[in-house]
Amino acid sequence: MDDLLSEFLTETNENIAVLDVELVRLEQNPNDPSLLSNIFRLVHTIKGTCGFLGLPRLEAVAHASENVLGRFRDGELNVSPYAVTLILESLDAIKSILLVLEKTEAEPAGNDEDLINRLNALAEGREAPAAAAPVAAAPPPPPPAPEPVPEPVAPPPAPVVAAPSVPAATTTREVAPVAEAAPPAPAPAATQAPPPPPPAAGGGDGGESSLANQTIRVNVDLLENLMTMVSELVLTRNQLLQILRSQKESEFAVPLQRLNHVTSELQEGVMKTRMQPIGNAWAKLPRLVRDLAHELHKKIDLQMLGAETELDRQVLELIKDPLTHMVRNSADHGLELPAERVAKGKSETGRVTLNAFHEGGHIIIEISDDGKGLAIEAIKRKILQNGLATEAELASMSDQQIQQFIFKAGFSTAAKVTSVSGRGVGMDVVKTNIEKIGGTIELKSVEGRGTTFTIKIPLTLAIVSALVVECGGERFAIPQISVIELVRAANDSEHKIERINGTPVLRLRNRLLPLVSLERLLKLGDGDQDNRETFIVVAQVGNYTFGIIVDRVFDTEEIVVKPVAPILRHIELFSGNTILGDGSVIMILDPNGIASFSGEIAGGVHDTAAAAAEEKQAARKDDRMALLLFRAGDGAPKAVPLSLVARLEDIDLNQVEASNGQPVVQYRGKLMPLVPIDPSWQVQRDKRQPVLVFADGDRSMGLVVDEIIDIVEDRLQVELGTERAGFMGSAIIADKATDVIDAGFYLTQAFRDWFGNATDRFEDERLHKVLLVDDSPFFRNLLTPLLTVSGYDVTAVQSADEALGLCESGEDFDVIVSDIEMPGMSGLEFAQAVRGNSRWQNVPLVALSSHATPRDLDRGRQAGFTDYVAKFDRDALLFTLQQTISETKGAA
């Protein structure tokens, strides 16, 4: 292909992707001159380049669209839904021509006379903008299972669509999106293309951006080859380090350590070139939602949060279709018609929210809506109709278990087949595609209030963290993303492998955990591991938790993932292979494949006894929580809530370095400070040390301990307070007097700004009920034990909708503590809803926010908050709670 034509295709696809988003925004902000100017400039650029390259058909369509936009810009024509629809239709026509141009290097035969005539008529004022408009002709990006789209029809007058909250990250040309449904172009793709230049005066071509000289276009194939070479370098580095460990004194020690550092930095740099903001996968969604709103006669507000969150380009491409399908489902299945919403006491406009963020080395993507939720009874009828379960089996299942059936192939509760959905093909494909990249998908739905899907995927598919295990004399790697904990099982230990109806199970914290013998599964032996010491790798896939029986557990390693050989691709238990530092080739196990096998052999056990135990635990009858027990310093047992601990590591003290007088270790590509509980602790070379890793975002801290004892589930009730720094007090845990540490104290030893300045903690003297509303699991897990040991009865929820559900169920609280910046219903909207509710309208509301300026305080109080506390100032929160409750009692 000619280089000039290749460059034209790349830039035009970029421009069209931007125009799709900008035109939807223009429809809602018709008086924004800068927005209109940018749209006009992009269309003008497309038209001018077409003329230069001799592409008359493209030029004619672009020219007609430019005429309409010129009338908008000059104030001679009002922006209307019909006009926007017509211009979007012209973009779809340009897309279809580009697809053929890319394949054949020539424009396709045909003409666009009808479309051009309608555009010219609109520009000349010969057709009223209020006339019925045809639906945009091009279908939205296809879901994983393609469904046919009807020909354009003329709908009734279009509903007003609430303006989608489009973050800036989706409106700049940071990458070159591929044309909708187009195959990969042989042209170089932009990995860090410059943003569009500012609009020129009068709408003409703007000059070259000053940023253009700071970025270049790089062919994707070149980046892929570079990543492959870095992966090979990482493997060689690992092999050399393995040799070095066996030779305590070697003249190569210093240069190899330097090579290790340089390789790590090079690996990180190359990984960054592959990283792209997830907003690039969302760029087409505003247009998609806009078209669906017209087609379905609904009002939809699309909110996109965290668009700047970056992940690997390969992963980004693989999740585009699943995300598109799920947004379509939310708009069609989830949201009600405006009249239905008003009848239910909701606003006419339904909300679909996308939220992306980093958590524990993974990407979390949430797709939620405030619609009707999943109808349990309708799902049950469909289950029985399809013969997927009996009435007796359904009776023993929880609502959440029943909801999981929507992921079954061919399952649909839609009353009729439409162009959007209803064929029973979709969610099973979405789940399969996400699992193919090592991810998981979870579902949470409340009938009448909405549905939330949570997707957890790895940052990259090239290099991942994995746990190396051994079974039957063979080593295997298990992706760390699926590993929850490790348990030693033997006849003389607390944990023993039992059998129920011939199925191996483990009683773990009042739960029956189904087990899979890797030895028997892979036919590496007789599988008789019940009577000898083994290790259980507790893994989780979605909402399903199970154990994998192995003989030995080694360390975690950063491994380079290689594809499975063709001869083994039919085996679902393997997801790839890798080369270890000693040169051994080992297989990477696929937890999803193992989970499906465990479901077949242990489904009955898990679905009844284990599920019942899980629901009983969820009832929080006695406020039990998982606690990690360990020893450090004086040897007395100590405890910390397990939910605060990201990982348990066993580090090689030879790898410990010093930075600013503090011991640090390289951990997952970054420096992690080590903070000992014992102030007399010293680094002793040639030894290993247990470490509790705490993480939040990109930061992590290692708490140095002497010995990890166990994980237990018990009440955290501090009976004796203490003035010792770093400790909350003493409690009876597992029938022993145990010191409860203050994790926040040690976190601030590593990073002073982790929570902000601390003052003397004030502990309330009486028990009061506190409702904590925060979408961050980290802060819920951090503040819940802090408030509990300070004498409060805490109920923690992750959203404003869930909190309001407690109000509807009749629960009362002495004070409500809520985050301000939350996806879905914000804290300010939540405060207004609480003040408008007769049951909770007088309950004190305390706002948590990372912003506490006078303006923020005024906004919070106007919305109904009683007080405002900086999110990281825990001591101020405790003082505010005590003072707020005291004032409430005084007023009463």
pLDDT grade for 146, boundaries at 50, 70 and 90:
very low
Comparing CA positions, the residue from 830, 776, 842, 835 lying closest to residue 804 is 830
Q: Around Cβ 487, how many Cβ atoms within 10 Å?
A: 19
pLDDT of residue 752: 73
pLDDT of residue 276: 84
pLDDT of residue 287: 86
Supply the DSSP string of 816-882, one letter for each residue.
EEEESS-SSS-HHHHHHHHHT-TTTTTS-EEEEES---HHHHHHHHHHT-SEEEETT-HHHHHHHHH
Q: Which of 238-252, 344-358, 589-603 has the highest mean pLDDT?
A: 344-358
Q: How far is CA 68 from the centre of its chain?
A: 41
Per DSSP, which regions of 580-669 are E strands? 585-589, 624-631, 637-641, 647-652, 657-659, 662-667
pLDDT of residue 339: 92
For 369, counting Cβ atoms within 10 Å of its Cβ (0-12 exposed, 13-18 middle, 19+ buried), the class is buried
Please provide the average confidence, as pLDDT, over all residues in the chain: 76
Q: Around Cβ 634, how many Cβ atoms within 10 Å?
A: 10
pLDDT of residue 839: 84
Q: Is the pLDDT of residue 463 over 80?
A: no
Q: Which residue has the higher pLDDT, 567 or 20?
A: 20
pLDDT grade for 559, boundaries at 50, 70 and 90:
confident
The continuous run of DSSP H or E covering 352 comes out as: strand 350-359
Q: Which residue has the higher pLDDT, 47 or 150?
A: 47
Tokens 């033997």, residue located: 490
pLDDT of residue 446: 87
pLDDT of residue 605: 37
Q: Is the pLDDT of residue 396 over 50?
A: yes
pLDDT grade for 171, boundaries at 50, 70 and 90:
low
Helices 81-104, 56-73: crossing angle, 10 deg rounding: 160
pLDDT of residue 542: 67
Q: Range with the lowest mean pLDDT among 186-195, 452-461, 485-494, 591-600?
A: 186-195
Q: Which residue has the higher pLDDT, 571 or 327?
A: 327
Total-model pTM: 0.49
Domains in the chain (CATH in brackets) are 1-136 (1.20.120.160), 220-276 (1.10.287), 278-458 (3.30.565.10), 466-618 (2.40.50.180), 624-750 (2.40.50.180), 768-891 (3.40.50.2300)
Alpha carbon distance 825, 821 (integer Å): 9
pLDDT of residue 194: 36
Beta bridge partners of 577: 562, 587
Residue type at 118? R
Q: Range with the lowest mean pLDDT among 61-70, 159-168, 375-384, 832-841?
A: 159-168
pLDDT grade for 530, boundaries at 50, 70 and 90:
low
Phi (first) and psi of residue 752, to 5 degrees: -65, -30
Residues 721 and 760: beta-carbon distance below 8 Å: no
Q: What percent of the chain has pLDDT over 90?
A: 6
Comparing CA positions, the residue from 607, 637, 643 lying closest to residue 625 is 643
> pLDDT tens, 400-443?
888 888 888 767 665 554 545 543 446 877 888 887 777 788 88
pLDDT of residue 719: 63
pLDDT of residue 439: 79
> pLDDT tens, 78-109?
888 888 888 898 888 988 888 888 888 888 88
pLDDT of residue 871: 62
Q: Range with the lowest mean pLDDT among 77-81, 501-505, 587-591, 830-834?
A: 501-505
- Residue range 716-730: mean pLDDT, rounded: 73
- Residue range 616-644: mean pLDDT, rounded: 70
Residues 575 and 585: beta-carbon distance below 8 Å: no
pLDDT of residue 249: 76
Q: Is the pLDDT of residue 538 over 60?
A: yes
Comparing CA positions, the residue from 393, 264, 284 lying closest to residue 16 is 284
Per-residue CA distances from 387 to 154, 393, 401, 607, 768 (Å)? 41, 11, 16, 17, 49
pLDDT of residue 816: 92
Comparing CA positions, the residue from 792, 467, 785 lying closest to residue 626 is 785
pLDDT grade for 133, boundaries at 50, 70 and 90:
very low
729: left (phi over 0), alpha (psi -120 to 50) or beta: left
pLDDT of residue 663: 92
What are the residues whose beta carbons fall under 8 Å from the beta carbon of 754, sequence distance 6 or more?
A: 696, 699, 701, 744, 747, 748, 872
pLDDT grade for 154, boundaries at 50, 70 and 90:
very low
Phi (first) and psi of residue 56, to 5 degrees: -65, -35
Q: Is the pLDDT of residue 788 over 80?
A: no
Render the burial of 19-31: b for 16+ CB within 10 Å, e for the rest. bbbbbbbbbbeee
Supply the DSSP string of 444-468, one letter for each residue.
EEETTTEEEEEEEEES-SSEEEEEE
Q: Range with the lowest mean pLDDT among 28-37, 251-260, 417-426, 637-646?
A: 417-426
For residue 28 the two structure tokens come to 């809602």
The continuous run of DSSP H or E covering 488 comes out as: strand 483-489
Q: What percent of the chain has pLDDT over 70?
A: 75
**Strand order across the 534-541 sheet:** 483-489, 534-541, 544-550, 512-517, 503-507, 497-500
Length of the chain: 892
For residue 195 the two structure tokens come to 């943003």
Q: What is the torsion angle, in degrees rounded to the nearest 10, for the CA atoms of residue 823, residue 828, residue 831 and residue 835?
A: -130
Q: Range with the lowest mean pLDDT among 35-44, 439-448, 844-853?
A: 844-853
Q: Specify the pairing of strand 637-641 against strand 736-741.
A: parallel
Q: Which of 136-150, 205-219, 520-534 has the highest mean pLDDT?
A: 520-534
Comparing CA positions, the residue from 95, 103, 102, 79 lying closest to residue 137 is 95
Q: Is the pLDDT of residue 703 over 90?
A: yes
Q: Is the pLDDT of residue 152 over 80?
A: no
Q: Around Cβ 1, how many Cβ atoms within 10 Å?
A: 12
Q: Is the pLDDT of residue 616 over 60?
A: no
Residues 361 and 344: beta-carbon distance below 8 Å: no
